[in-house]
Amino acid sequence: MSDATLSPAAMVGTTPEQLTTADGKPLKQALMRAQSHARRRAFLLVAPLLAFILLTFVMPIGQMLHRSVHNEGFTWHEDVASGQRTPIMTNLSQWFDQNELGTEPDEAAFAALAADLIVLREVKAAGQAGTRINYERSGSRSMFTKAARRAQRLEAPYKEAIVDLDEDWLDPDLWRVMRDASSSYTANFYLAALDRTKDADGNVTQVNENRQVYVKLFQRTLFLSIVITFMTFILAYPIAHLLATLPLAKSNLLMILVLLPFWTSLLVRTTSWMVLLQSQGVVNDALVSTGILADDNRLEMMYNQAGTLIAMTHILLPFMVLPLYSVMRPINPSYVRAARSLGATSWTAFRRVYFPQTVPGIGAGALLVFILAVGYYITPALVGGADGQLISNLIAFHMQNSLNWSLAAALAALLLGGILLLYWLYDRLVGIDNLKLG
Amino acid sequence: MANSSRNNAFVEFERVQKSYDGENLVVKDLNLTLPKGEFLTMLGPSGSGKTTCLMMLAGFETATHGDIRLDGVSINNIPPHKRGIGMVFQNYALFPHMTIAENLSFPLEVRGMGKSEREQKVKRALDMVEMGAFGGRRPSQLSGGQQQRIALARALVFEPELVLMDEPLGALDKQLREKMQFEITRLAHNLGITTVYVTHDQTEALTMSDRVAVFNDGRIQQLAPPNELYEAPVNSFVAQFIGENNTLEGTIKEINGNQALVQLDDGEVIHCKPVNVYKTGERARVSIRPERVEYNKDRMQEGAHTIKAEVLEFIYMGDIFRTRLKVAGNEEFIIKTRNAPDQVRLQAGQLIEIGWMPEDCHALDA
Ligand SMILES: Nc1ncnc2c1ncn2[C@@H]1O[C@H](COP(=O)(O)OP(=O)(O)OP(=O)(O)O)[C@@H](O)[C@H]1O
Ligand SMILES: [Mg+2]
């Protein structure tokens, strides 16, 4: 150490000399060795947890991301009973390889199609292949099932024979979709999730106006989540402040009231809002019976955006109260007193001294509520009606009804990406170290 | 007399009472006048109502009864931010999200002062507490003593005429405490500020103050300059609380103006100066300071009262000797003697005769 300070090189700071231990080993290495044992033990200690996280978080999310770009509906068939995998549409895929996008499908193409249709019929995969094409071009599924049923009887010239079954087999868009689907990996589901599609020449275009749903829904989800976050903040701030300033015995009692919603089932809570808010509900009845509202003029507070807003604000309120409370409780009242004694009015003292100290709690609460709101599903499904649905409801629809899992995965991945983006923005603007979650 | 004291009074408490719960009086009948520029310390055991008094003066608690006046104006209805009182809190209360300079600039900002003037004043205040280089730091990056100085600077930067400090040195170690005690008094006197200082450290109170108000049980027991407080306590609580003290219990045998005869419980009769005892037959507590007792015959003054004692313990403390004796049945009788070259050293078990001047021996209430 003293050597280093004596050497002129170190003094000008060009080549800082390496520090060594008493017996001449580099200090860094010695430190590493000394710590490696402790680190190994620490790692073994957390290893089970790591495995758990890997299993429960990383793998499902990885699976989802993979599924959003990978679909074998038009390339492989797996027999449910035997588990045997058969490649399908191989001939057509070969033709696509040999002819580039935009080539008019010729006799060879239709011959390949006919051969593939026979395979489809043999392994009973026509429905599957048709469904895959149907994701991107509606009305295609029946064309496949119908053609596969007659595949055996098709004879050359195949083009005429197949077009004879259905004029649409000439549609260049269909051929474009089949070309994309003939490889398992595709970004088309992301395009669909953004209301985009490709035209026959492979250019990305917007879908028809009356079929644009996802972007609008993303926007609504974002908008409603922001409004909900803001409303929980407005409601939670005074509650948390009250809780934080009351003596502990009283504040604990009130805290139980705040947490009470956690103890009742989400469904019960949502249903009770339905009882309260529907047009024949308690609130409307009360307003009508007191003469504030005319009977034929009842407020529509349920099965629309208002229903989603009210119910979700209530349900997510504790997630805002708790982080706020946890930053407010330790704020010593002497800070505000000091500000007042220094000449600040109570408003200035609040704005300049109290509020800034609660910002980490606001950030944490807002992030929690926002992320929960963005992904919320049950409440909007029950009380949202048509225009109170959020993106999660559509994801659920594609998971359960249309069975287009790849699209559901793509939508979910976009949601995840959006949240990560917001998180990053928050980090840049406020700083993640400025976050106090509890 | 009452009139003249009212005229130069800067801070006045008049018959102030305070209760938090409506059942107990925390402050009972507080009367206090404080001239401009004085350094007054409120001293008292924990829970005696010192902080409460300070908070009432600062405006964070309201008096249940009575009147508090600042410069002749009743401040009961003036909100805290209009009182213009600088305050140093026990935990310093430096705003953690602001830098030191921003902390200091805060009181100037809320007064609408311009930027350049603010910067200038902040700089001057930082220099005053020798913290000029720390303006850009956060409070959490400072040591306790440094934070304390910043808290002081912040309370002074807007040039208040009255500064309140609530145990500002409580969290510091002894050495730093002594340094800061000196700095605070120096600043207060240089700037001519009126200061109300709260502590329960009696040395601090004695060394720093112009006058000390000894609190107990919600009342001022004695309000006097430090020397008077030490040498002429008005009751046994003050005598016990300030400095070290020997007490002997007894009964008044005779009382005659400036002289009293007290019969101690073991039969010995001694001469004392009566303070707050008035009748023959009353129980009394006789109080003598350890350093006013002499055992060296050569040094004993004419007219000293002597009494027999047994040495129980002799402790060499460097500058002084501290001897524990058994006197009139009291085994905790302490005497302190200066370590002079010719001083006799005692040994445990030795039987000696000690003596004191009757005027150093106070007969107080029991
Ligand atoms: N906000 C309050 N509510 C109820 N009682 C209080 C409150 N603040 C103080 N007290 C009570 O008032 C009495 C005096 O308290 P105070 O804080 O004035 O004492 P103190 O002299 O400053 O003591 P310390 O030296 O420990 O700071 C105590 O018995 C205390 O319990
Ligand atoms: Mg106190």
pLDDT of B165? 94
- Nearest-Cα distance to chain A for B140, in Å, is 14
Residue indicated by tokens 């009804």: A401
How does residue B344 score in pLDDT terms, banded at 50, 70 and 90?
A: confident
Domains and CATH numbers, chain A: 2-69 (no CATH), 76-208 (no CATH), 214-434 (1.10.3720.10)
Nearest residue in B to A337, CA atom: B60
Query: Residue with the nearest Cα to atom 8 of ligand 1?
Result: B52
| B342 SS3 class | coil
- What is the CATH T-level fold of the domain B2-236, as seen in this structure? Rossmann fold (3.40.50)
Q: What is the A244 CA–ligand 1 centroid distance (Å)?
A: 21
Q: How far apart (Å, rounded) are the C-alpha atoms in residues B361 and B247?
A: 10
Contacts of B228 (CB under 8 A, 6+ apart): none
E strand residue ranges, A189-242: 196-198, 204-206
Percent with pLDDT over 90 in chain B: 53
pLDDT of B111? 92
Q: Is the pLDDT of residue B88 over 90?
A: yes
Q: Which of B203, B209, B170 is nearest to B188 (CA)?
A: B209
Query: Residue with the nearest Cα to atom 1 of ligand 1?
Result: B20
Ligand 1 atom closest to Cα of residue B27: 14
pLDDT of A16? 55
Is there a contact between B334 and B324 (Cβ–Cβ < 8 Å)?
yes
For residue B140, list chain A residues with Cβ-Cβ distance below 8 A: none
Is there a contact between A79 and A123 (Cβ–Cβ < 8 Å)?
yes
pLDDT in single tens digits along all 438 residues of chain A = 344 444 444 444 445 567 777 777 788 888 888 889 888 999 999 999 999 998 999 999 999 999 999 999 999 999 888 989 999 999 999 999 999 888 889 999 999 999 999 999 999 999 999 999 999 988 999 999 999 999 888 888 999 999 988 999 999 999 999 999 999 999 999 999 999 988 888 888 888 888 889 999 999 999 999 999 999 999 999 999 999 999 989 999 998 988 887 888 888 888 888 899 888 889 889 999 998 888 888 888 888 899 999 999 999 999 999 999 999 999 999 999 999 999 999 999 999 999 999 988 998 899 899 999 999 988 899 888 888 889 999 999 999 998 899 999 999 999 999 989 988 888 888 777 767 665
Q: Report the mean per-residue pLDDT for chain B.
A: 89
Q: What is the ipTM of this complex?
A: 0.80
**Residue A343 DSSP label:** T
Q: Is the pLDDT of residue B358 over 50?
A: yes
Ligand nearest to the CA of B19: 1
Ligand nearest to the CA of B55: 1
Q: How far apart (Å, rounded) are the C-alpha atoms in residues B330 and B306?
A: 16
pLDDT of A433? 72
pLDDT of A2? 43
Mean pLDDT of B293-297: 86
pLDDT of B197? 95
Question: Following DSSP, what letter does each residue of A86-153 receive, concatenated?
Answer: EE-SHHHHHHHHHS-TTPPP-HHHHHHHHHHHHHHHHHT-HHHHHHHHHHHSTTHHHHHHHHHHTGGG
pLDDT of A4? 42
pLDDT of A26? 83
How does residue B325 score in pLDDT terms, banded at 50, 70 and 90?
A: very high
Class of domain B244-365: mainly beta
- Nearest-Cα distance to chain A for B51, in Å, is 13
pLDDT of A30? 84
Q: Is the pLDDT of residue B84 over 80?
A: yes
Q: Are strands B162-166 and B194-199 parallel, antiparallel or unpaired?
A: parallel
Q: What is the B52 CA–ligand 1 centroid distance (Å)?
A: 6
Beta-carbon count within 10 A of B116 CB: 8
Span B135-193, pLDDT tens digits:
999 999 999 889 988 999 999 999 999 999 998 888 788 888 888 899 899 989 998 99
* Contact at CB, B106 and A356, closer than 8 angstroms: no
B47 token code pair = 């829970």
- Cα end-to-end distance, chain A, whole Å: 43
B39 or B6: whose pLDDT is higher?
A: B39
How does residue B33 score in pLDDT terms, banded at 50, 70 and 90?
A: very high
pTM for the whole structure: 0.78
* Contact at CB, B93 and A357, closer than 8 angstroms: no
Assign 3-state DSSP to chain A and report helix, strand, coil percentages, each to 5. Answer: 70, 5, 25
B20 CB under 6 A from ligand 1? yes
Q: Which of A363, A378, A335, A369 is nearest to A425 (CA)?
A: A363
How does residue B3 score in pLDDT terms, banded at 50, 70 and 90?
A: very low
Any idea where the domains of chain B sit in the sequence? Answer: 2-236, 244-365
Sign of CA dihedral B290, B293, B295, B298: positive
Residue indicated by tokens 């460097």: B318
- Nearest-Cα distance to chain B for A47, in Å, is 36
Q: How far apart (Å, rounded) are the C-alpha atoms in residues B57 and B71?
A: 12
Q: Is the pLDDT of residue B49 over 70?
A: yes
